[in-house]
Structure 1
Amino acid sequence: MFLQLVSQVWGLGLPRRGGVRGVAVAAVLAVALLASGCGSGGDGGGSAPSPAAVESSPEAVDASDSGVGDGGGGDEPAPEESEEMVEAPPAAATAAPTAAPVPLGPPHTAELPWGDFALAERIAAKLADGQQLNFVLSANATGSGGSGEVMGLGWEQAASGFGADINPRVIGPNSADRAAQIETIDSLIGSGSIDCLAVEVDDPAAFVEVIDRAVDAGIPTFTVGGDSADSKRFAFYGLDDRAAGKLVGAVAGEWAAERRILMRKAAVLTANVDDPRYQARMQGFVEGLLEIHSGIEFINGPDMGIESLGFDPDEVYAATEAWVLANPDADMIFHTDQGMAQLARVIADQLLYGDMYTSGFHMNEDMANYLRDGVVVAAVAQGLSNQANSAGAACGQFLLQGAHETGHVVQEPLIATESNVDTVDWTQPENQ
């Protein structure tokens, strides 16, 4: 049945890295051989032969060749049409036979859709000297329950996979505060404390300027969670929120149809109605559910009668309880984010088992129990740890190997249902 086919597992492992080290060694040997072949009657001049082109495609060379671990992931999902693997040309390596050979290394420039990028001289110097690199992830919120907590695990895991001295940092306000988040990024750009940057974006337009300032300062920059497509970011690692929301709607619809549960009214709830990610998820859910139950009535929707419930757990619970008591005839309620946990708890506390169901974007062991109890129908693991892991890997790949991606690199959602709830360890960050 359809329901048995919708549970999907991310292929979010780090791409296999191109091998630059082997080519560098080959260049050294080539120069040495040329030097030894020059007789005493020669002019002692000439140049070393040009090295072979460096293949930096992730599929070309095994990770063991570059000294890079797999970061805990599997194979990278096939890129979409909007995604392009870009290989910067290798730098020329020439030297007189009597001089030390110039080692090959990652290029300090890159061609991107918006123009040419030049790496900051201070970062290039740190790479040449083998100094510690600062990989910085800016999260919306770093306090308990915030995105930074889970994203930080993937960020650190990616940094530990490279054979280099990397300091992975997670910065951001304790609770969601966009202005404070941007201010902190600006401060670190000004102090030269960022060598590669990833930004969790909750408003595309709001982050354009700070991302562009980072890139103009020579810092390779990526986005996670949400995108700022009009900025100069290299690539965005995240879900296709609308497609994932539509899949949840279809799963919920099929679930009800198989059990002959009458779906008369549905609704959507969200922490932030202005967040484009959440808007896309709600729109997708409405589309997916209506494809299965065309006659269902929506009490509210992305464009009508919906209010932001916020992120504070106690406040969200109180607001959600008031909404549920005011709308007891809602059969299926979709939630865009972690507020789904409070919604499930309200349904259970009000003993609405079998009368009201929920589905949405949040997954952990508590949600797994609600799935087993029949309160939750479908829960999407948002994959924030995996997205941060991919961005951290992208930092290492560009700075240490000279390879990078552009566009939206889609991370596939993992959807928990009653059919797979007992087959996955939901306590692991990569499954949340």
Structure 2
Amino acid sequence: MAACAGEDEEEPTAPAAPADAPAAPADAPEAPPEAPEPPPAPPAAVAEGFSHDFDWGTFTLNADTAAKAAAGEELNIVVGVSGTAIPIFGAAVRTGMERACEAAQSRIDVDCQLVGPAQPSVVDHVAMLEARLAAGDVDCLALQSHPPEGLVDLVNDYIAAGVPVFTYNTDIEASNRFAFFALQEVAAASINGRVTAELVQAQGLDVNQVAMGSGLPNDQWARQRMEGFTKGFTEVFGDADFFNDVDSGLPTGENFTTQEVLDSVGPFMLANPDVNLFFHTDQGVEGVGQVIQNQGRVGQAWTSGFNVSDPILDLIDAGAILVTVDQGFDNQSELATTACVDLLADGQLPDSERPVLNPIVITKDGGEGRESTDDARARYAALDAGAPAEEPEEMDEMGFSHDFDWGTFTLNADTAAKAAAGEELNIVVGVSGTAIPIFGAAVRTGMERACEAAQSRIDVDCQLVGPAQPSVVDHVAMLEARLAAGDVDCLALQSHPPEGLVDLVNDYIAAGVPVFTYNTDIEASNRFAFFALQEVAAASINGRVTAELVQAQGLDVNQVAMGSGLPNDQWARQRMEGFTKGFTEVFGDADFFNDVDSGLPTGENFTTQEVLDSVGPFMLANPDVNLFFHTDQGVEGVGQVIQNQGRVGQAWTSGFNVSDPILDLIDAGAILVTVDQGFDNQSELATTACVDLLADGQLPDSERPVLNPIVITKDGGEGRESTDDARARYAALG
């Protein structure tokens, strides 16, 4: 995806006019009829058709479009985008399109529509745009695409049909498009590199080594940005030590999500502690900033990158990010949409095939040629000023709809009718394994608690659906059958592996069934919100508390090992990363037997017997290992291994989840710490989210509501719960 890109190789020669510069009034009084001044004719009057000679040949506007323009009928502008739900990018493109379309209404009657898949898929994008061309209902196309070469024929087909095409953000230079709106990549990134270096110099920051990464490091736009950053930074620091170069940028996730960056840059930074300045080519700078925060390196490591969001601005203020360049995605789509308007209204083409757009350079305090974070927030607030305030959604006989970044969701009409009539509604809580120890029973408890509480508000039936033991094939089959039967009004879903259910979630959404996820996210889908712990942060707390107990009790830890039921899964890797981080905050020279890339597999069904069969022999073979971190309820099995081998008081374990045996093993001294994720809380919150929507048309305040871990130790203390209090809490839950 080049949702973050433009590919212009010429240096900018003149400043661009502001995208929001006021247009000449369209409603000025006409000249008196007795002394008319004939208006200057446009290059070709649209009412009489429009044609223009380009280097590649002559373009002639579609006759139906010309006729509609002459009759004052509504014209259709389609704004194509490679991913409507790409973080930051999709929403900004929509904003720019809507701004241009609203401004155009005083000149011409146009309808503007954003067209593209939720996540990048050139096959889906081409199919959508081919269908619109075949339907003959597109009068002008403003297009961003990835990869651009995949849409050359499509653009030329539009041109041949008499539909003008302008590109923005990523160019399709090999096609017959009319003009392209984006930054000049090398120049913009060179400014970023130079300003970053100037801040390093001015603040006396001690940069050891610089690394670079990107969502798509091999794409032309990303390579140009890495080239530009290197050029700008070395203008100030000619001897700067770069870990990698334009040919070896670190891949950080092709879907451009923060989680992908955390999963890639986090381990990279731990493995390469000399790297303390990281340039990211796109909005992944947000994830790098979070990595710096999560690893406790604010003031010791820094990042710079591209794009802007509230979290990015917050991370600049916190000192984790030095510089970000706002490409003005909204400006790019606004200018391309306006180019369509100018042609359809007046037969006017841009003055240049590549109009110049200047980057907006954002730093904490601003300065000459820079914008401060406060000014950036004010500018974005001003962009939204005047937009109609969103009315709260309501559930009635008219149903429920909501605009997300990926498009508009409309509740299934049968569900809306049942809700309006007060009939029973069905909430399905999907779980990857109903018989997974601890987990399955806790999920059922949370669901039942939410469903019981809902009865005073709405008539709902809640059902737990999933195989006894994890099987994504069986799970998908069960949920597909329920969708086909049409008897699901809302879905709360946990799955493993999550990527196996993306299409299923989107099928539910397309059928008008809301979906909330819990415990494991399906971030690439159109789910509404996700309820779970933040894995690295929760495990970091576990590691730090474990180390504090080791220190306070004078325990003699020789070597630390780590394991998991599924050590290669993202959540398990994040917990091992977090535990390592927290433990080494107290014991910086701790000796780890293994790391996040080599966690011991202890059994994919998460049973105690599997842990006994794997960790038992491991501990006998490696007697120096006397602290074992387990990422899940396998901590119970590790505690039993310690007891069975007679090593209580000589070896210890910490982990996740809670059960009576786990609490007993804490009291016995075999387990030091366990983190209760609150599986019941997760499923309860996801089920309650379904209730809130079905009863009141209410959505969560955040896409990722914060859940705090419950840290359990034998005696409790500040920020911790004792085993006695944990038992009392579970007894109260029933």
Please indicate, yes or no, whether the TM-score normalized by the shorter chain is above 0.5. Answer: yes
1:414 is aligned to 360
2:264 maps to which of 298, 302, 319:
319
In 2, Cα distance between equivalents of 1:107 and 1:15: 28
Deviation for aligned residue 1:346: 0.8
1:247 is aligned to 191
SS at match of 1:408: coil
- Equivalent position amino acid for 1:139 in 2: V
1:156 paired with 2:76, answer no
State whether residues 139 and 147 of structure 1, in contact with CA within 8 Å, keep that contact through their aligned partners in structure 2. Answer: no
1:402 paired with 2:347, answer yes
In 2, Cα distance between equivalents of 1:411 and 1:430: 20
Higher relative contact order (CA 8 A, sep 6+): 1
Percent of aligned pairs sharing the same letter: 27
- Equivalent position amino acid for 2:373 in 1: V
In 2, Cα distance between equivalents of 1:411 and 1:425: 21
1:382 is aligned to 327
1:281 paired with 2:281, answer no
In 1, Cα distance between equivalents of 2:188 and 2:340: 26
Deviation for aligned residue 1:429: 7.8
2:158 is aligned to 214
Cα deviations by residue, 1:312-346 (Å, 9 ceiling, x for unpaired): 33233212211221222112111111111111111
In 2, Cα distance between equivalents of 1:284 and 1:29: 60
Deviation for aligned residue 1:409: 1.2
Deviation for aligned residue 1:125: 1.6
Q: Which 5+ residue runs of structure 1 have no aligned equivalent?
A: 1-7, 34-49, 57-87, 92-103
- CA 1:275/1:354 → structure 2, altered by over 3 Å: closer, same or farther? same
Cα deviations by residue, 1:405-429 (Å, 9 ceiling, x for unpaired): 1411121111110221222326728
State whether residues 49 and 66 of structure 2, in contact with CA within 8 Å, keep that contact through their aligned partners in structure 1. Answer: no
1:333 paired with 2:278, answer yes
Deviation for aligned residue 1:214: 1.0
Larger Rg: 2
Matches within 5 A, 1:12-411: 12-13=19-20, 16=23, 53-54=40-41, 88=43, 90-91=44-45, 105=47, 107-143=49-85, 145=87, 147-162=89-104, 163=106, 164-304=108-248, 306-310=250-254, 311-405=256-350, 406-411=352-357
Cα deviations by residue, 1:133-156 (Å, 9 ceiling, x for unpaired): 111111111126262321011101
The 10-residue stretch of structure 1 (320-329 or 236-245) with the greater mean CA deviation from structure 2: 320-329
2:408 is aligned to none
The 10-residue stretch of structure 1 (401-410 or 288-297) with the greater mean CA deviation from structure 2: 401-410
The 10-residue stretch of structure 1 (231-240 or 259-268) with the greater mean CA deviation from structure 2: 259-268
- CA 1:243/1:429 → structure 2, altered by over 3 Å: closer, same or farther? farther
In 1, Cα distance between equivalents of 2:379 and 2:21: 21
1:423 paired with 2:375, answer yes
- CA 1:144/1:238 → structure 2, altered by over 3 Å: closer, same or farther? closer
SS at match of 2:77: strand
Cα deviations by residue, 1:14-57 (Å, 9 ceiling, x for unpaired): 5846989999x89x878xx9xxxxxxxxxxxxxxxx95643x6x
SS at match of 2:275: coil
Query: Relative to total residues, which structure has the larger helix share, 1 or 2?
Result: 2
- Equivalent position amino acid for 1:424 in 2: A
Deviation for aligned residue 1:386: 0.8
In 1, Cα distance between equivalents of 2:206 and 2:377: 32
- Equivalent position amino acid for 1:408 in 2: R
- Equivalent position amino acid for 1:254 in 2: E
Deviation for aligned residue 1:393: 0.9
Deviation for aligned residue 1:264: 2.9
- Equivalent position amino acid for 1:13 in 2: D
Taking structure 2 as the reference length, the TM-score comes to: 0.46
Cα deviations by residue, 1:69-111 (Å, 9 ceiling, x for unpaired): xxxxxxxxxxxxxxxxxxx2x45xxxxxxxxxxxx84751123
SS at match of 1:377: strand
- Equivalent position amino acid for 2:146 in 1: D
In 1, Cα distance between equivalents of 2:148 and 2:285: 24
In 1, Cα distance between equivalents of 2:183 and 2:49: 30
State whether residues 135 and 395 of structure 1, in contact with CA within 8 Å, keep that contact through their aligned partners in structure 2. Answer: yes
Deviation for aligned residue 1:172: 0.6
Deviation for aligned residue 1:182: 1.8
- Equivalent position amino acid for 2:190 in 1: K
In 2, Cα distance between equivalents of 1:291 and 1:173: 41
SS at match of 1:379: strand
1:3 is aligned to none
State whether residues 47 and 69 of structure 2, in contact with CA within 8 Å, keep that contact through their aligned partners in structure 1. Answer: no
- CA 1:229/1:9 → structure 2, altered by over 3 Å: closer, same or farther? closer
- Equivalent position amino acid for 1:298 in 2: F
State whether residues 249 and 289 of structure 1, in contact with CA within 8 Å, keep that contact through their aligned partners in structure 2. Answer: yes
In 2, Cα distance between equivalents of 1:269 and 1:331: 13
SS at match of 1:245: helix
> How many residues in Structure 1 have an aligned counterpart in Structure 2?
360
Deviation for aligned residue 1:351: 0.6
State whether residues 361 and 382 of structure 1, in contact with CA within 8 Å, keep that contact through their aligned partners in structure 2. Answer: yes
Q: Which 5+ residue runs of structure 2 have no aligned equivalent?
A: 1-14, 366-371, 385-734
In 2, Cα distance between equivalents of 1:429 and 1:200: 25
In 1, Cα distance between equivalents of 2:34 and 2:133: 40
SS at match of 1:263: coil
Q: CA RMSD in A?
A: 2.8
